[in-house]
Amino acid sequence: MARTTVITECLWCGETHSYGIIRGAGMNQTQPVQCPDCRKHMFINMTIRKALENPDYHDPTWLHEEYHGKNRTMADIAADFGVTPMTINIWLNKLDIPTRSRGHKKTN
């Protein structure tokens, strides 16, 4: 079983929240969550989660084009997906895409 965070819009009030859901064998395709704003329940479709697990930045061709072709920054790309620049950095390394030196590095 793995805990996954899904960020989705409330069907009822439109507010965007992140929900922790449990993924495991035998789970249904949808999982119920409660909106913290309007307190209404909705179901998160697991196909949405799957899409989030396979974002464009996992694709080496796409990532190379955005980062090198379009000269975008990690932070810029990360913002498109609601992830941290570190996530993009990890995937650049994972996909063997050379990263630009920023002249400063986080040491922690």
Nearer to Zn ion, 40 or 100 (CB): 40
Longest dimension (CA), the chain: 48
Nearer to Zn ion, 37 or 53 (CB): 37
Residues that bind Zn ion (CB under 5 A): 10, 12-13, 35, 37-38
Nearer to Zn ion, 6 or 88 (CB): 6
Q: Beta strand pairing status for 16-23 and 41-45?
A: unpaired
In the complex, the smallest distance separating the C-beta of residue 16 from Zn ion, rounded to whole angstroms, is: 10
Nearer to Zn ion, 11 or 86 (CB): 11
In the complex, the smallest distance separating the C-beta of residue 79 from Zn ion, rounded to whole angstroms, is: 24
In the complex, the smallest distance separating the C-beta of residue 17 from Zn ion, rounded to whole angstroms, is: 8
